[in-house]
Amino acid sequence: MKHIVVTLDEKVVVGVSAKTSNEDPKMTEIIGGLWDTLYNTGIYGLIKNKRNEYAIGLYSDYTEDGGYTVTAGVEVGTPDNKDLTVKVIPAGKYAKFEVRGDVHTAVSEAWKDIWSMDLERSYTGDFEEYLTSDMDNAQIDIYIALK
């Protein structure tokens, strides 16, 4: 899977979060539940100071045992929602992968490829940026934080 290396400025994300791991049998259910909560309970509409309409799936707070925090949200200029999670995507170098296709299949396949690659990952915050809302022909950029 091809990628380019880009340098990004810091991003602030507001949304909803949960902890999981790739070994958690409920991982898919947990992540899907976050997206359901974000969009189907009105939270997305309540997020203030959005920089754009792109949804972000952020993976952060990696632990030695393979755990991590998942946040479903959007980038904001200034966080101003007291009851929601605020996460910072650090400025730095990222491997950028462009993913196109069915949102569930394409993202899942891309992550399988990424996990098998020999990238010099920093594990400071990896994220998916959903550029369209077309579930069947989605455009998603996946960014992997590099050392």
Q: What is the pLDDT of residues 18-69, one digit of tens each?
A: 999 999 999 999 999 999 999 999 999 999 999 999 999 999 999 999 999 9
CA of 143: how far to CAs of 15, 83, 111, in Å?
A: 18, 27, 11
Q: What is the pLDDT of residues 105-147, one digit of tens each?
A: 999 999 999 999 999 999 999 999 999 988 889 999 999 999 9
Name the region of 81 (left: φ>0; alpha: ψ -120 to 50; beta: rest).
beta
Q: How far apart are the first and last CA of the chain?
A: 19
Residue 20 near residue 32, CB atoms below 8 Å? no
Nearest to 56 by CA among 141, 134, 144, 146: 141
Q: Which residues pair with 146 in a beta bridge?
A: 121
Q: pTM for the whole thing?
A: 0.95
